[in-house]
Structure 1
Amino acid sequence: MKLTATNLNRFLFFKLPSAFICGVRVVEITSEKCVVAVKHRWINQNPFHSMYFAVQAMAAELTTGAIVMLHIEESGHQIGMLVAGNKSVFTKKATGKITFVCQNPDAVKTAIQNTITTAEGQTFWLKSIGTNENGEQVSEMDFEWTIKLKK
C-alpha cells in the first residue's frame, strides 16, 4: 500500500477502528512530516469537557508511526516496528480541532540505515506536538520506537 493520507485513513477504519470512530484523521504525510487532526467531540471527551488524553495519544502516535512506516517503505527492506515507550506533557485544555505534527525524521532515517547495515535492532525517539485552532500548544508527546529487520 502506498502511504498517502487517504490510504492511512482507510487503514484506520479497518485496523484501528477506535481511532477512526474518535475522529482521528491523517491530513498530510510527506517524508519530512506527518499531520494528523482530531476534533473534540462527545465521543472523545473526558469528564472535564476536553479531549481525553488517550485520543490525543492515538493521534500523536499516528504522526510518528506513519513517518516510520513511510521511511521503511522507501527503504525497500522488510523491517518490523514497535512502540517501546512514550512520554507526554499536557499544557492546555484540548478543545476544538487539535492538530498533531511530527517533523524532522532524521532519527528514523539514521536508525533504518543502521539496522540495514548492522542487522541489529535500533531504538529512537520521535516527537509530536499538538496545537489548537489558535496555534497554542496543548500537548507534546514523545514516542520511543524500536525497529529491526524481519527474517
Structure 2
Amino acid sequence: MALTVSKLNQFLFFKLPAAFWCGVRVKEISGTQCVVSVKHRWANQNPFNSMYFAVQAMAAELSTGAMVIDQIAQSGKKISMLVANNKSNFSKKATGRITFVCQDGDLIAAAIAKTIADGAGQTFWMKSIGTNEKGEQVSEMDFEWSVRMK
C-alpha cells in the first residue's frame, strides 16, 4: 500500500513535530517524485528575515526520505534507513513559499533490491531543489541515504 500525502503529513505531526510546526507539508508523492512545501513565516525565520537553513533542510530531506519510506514499505522487508551525509548550497534568500522537489525516486528500488539480495548495506545520493514562488532556485540539497536489512 503506497503512502499518501495525508498519511505523510499526519506522520509529521506525530513523529516530526518540529517540521510540522515550522510548516513543512508534503504536497505530492509518487514512485519517482516528491514535492514538499514550506512558507517563510515568523516561526521559521532567521535573523536576516528569510527562512532558517534547518527548516529548508527538513523540507528537502522529507522530499527524498518520503520516497525511501514508501519503497521500503512496499518491499515488505524489515529495512533500516539513515541519512549518512548531506550537502547543501544556498543561492538566494528563501522568502515566501519554498517548494522542494526530488525526482530521484528511481534510485531507491535498485538499492533496496541489492540490500535484500545480498544483505549488505547500500548507499545512494538523492537531490532536492528548492524554488521560490517565482520559480527561482534558492537552495539545492543532496542527501546520501543508507539502507540495510535489519
> Scaled by the length of structure 1, what TM-score is found?
0.96
Residue aligned with 2:59, SS: helix
**Equivalent position of 2:87 in the other structure:** 87
Q: What is the one-letter code of the residue matched to 1:103?
A: Q
How does 1:48-63 map onto structure 2 within 5 Å?
48-63=48-63
Deviates more, 1:13-22 or 1:73-82: 73-82
Residue aligned with 1:101, SS: strand
Q: Distance in 1 between matches of 2:99 and 2:139?
A: 10
Q: Could you tell me how far 1:2 is from its partner in structure 2?
A: 4.7
Q: Could you tell me how far 1:106 is from its partner in structure 2?
A: 2.3
**Equivalent position of 1:142 in the other structure:** 142
Q: Distance in 2 between matches of 1:25 and 1:121?
A: 30
The answer to whether the Cα contact below 8 Å between 2:125 and 2:143 also exists between their aligned partners in 1 is yes
Residue aligned with 1:11, SS: helix
**Equivalent position of 1:118 in the other structure:** 118
**Equivalent position of 2:28 in the other structure:** 28
Q: Distance in 2 between matches of 1:31 and 1:89?
A: 26
> Scaled by the length of structure 2, what TM-score is found?
0.97
Q: Which runs of 5+ in 1 are unaligned?
A: none
Aligned CA RMSD, in angstroms, stands at 1.0
Report Cα offsets for 1:7-38 as digits up to 9, x if no partner. Answer: 11001001110000000000011101000000
Q: Distance in 2 between matches of 1:32 and 1:124?
A: 15
Q: Distance in 2 between matches of 1:148 and 1:66?
A: 17
**Equivalent position of 1:132 in the other structure:** 132
Percent identity of paired positions between Structure 1 and Structure 2: 69
Q: What is the one-letter code of the residue matched to 1:130?
A: G
**Equivalent position of 1:7 in the other structure:** 7
Q: Which runs of 4+ in 1 moved over 4 A?
A: none
**Equivalent position of 1:45 in the other structure:** 45
Q: Distance in 1 between matches of 2:130 and 2:96?
A: 12
Residue aligned with 2:84, SS: strand
Residue aligned with 2:49, SS: coil
